[in-house]
Amino acid sequence: MPTVTAQGKTMQCEAGANLRQVLLAHGVDLYNGQAKVINCRSLGTCGTCAVAIEGDVSAANWKDKARRSLPPHDPQRNLRLACQTQVLGDITVTKYDGFWGQGKQVVWASTHDPG
């Protein structure tokens, strides 16, 4: 079973599990500010669940690529939409600031929980 490490927590999931669902099920603060209330609920249209991922995940699908190609996201930046990402192996996840998670300051990393 793959291991997901995020916000100082380590959790296991089935291979192919949706990263957004795994993070939320384990109490990880995936959204910044009011994005907790105002998000697309996995449609891949809002971009607020953007995270940096290290490890084995699915290739970016068209929804992920399309949303991250629009401002405030930068398609050259190494971010992914958690709602459009399947966990295939062990991964670590980092969340950045900004409403859409597009900022440069780390909010939380795999081993750091500022809470």
Select from 19, 34, 43 the least CA-distant residue to 93. 19
Select from 25, 100, 14 the least CA-distant residue to 6. 25
Tell the CATH topology of 3-109. Ubiquitin-like (UB roll) (3.10.20)
Select from 15, 23, 93, 82 the least CA-distant residue to 54. 93
% of the chain exceeding 70 in pLDDT: 97
pLDDT in tens, 26-71: 999 999 999 999 999 999 999 999 999 999 999 999 999 999 999 9
> Band of the pLDDT at 111, cuts 50, 70, 90?
confident
Residue spans of the domains in the chain: they are 3-109
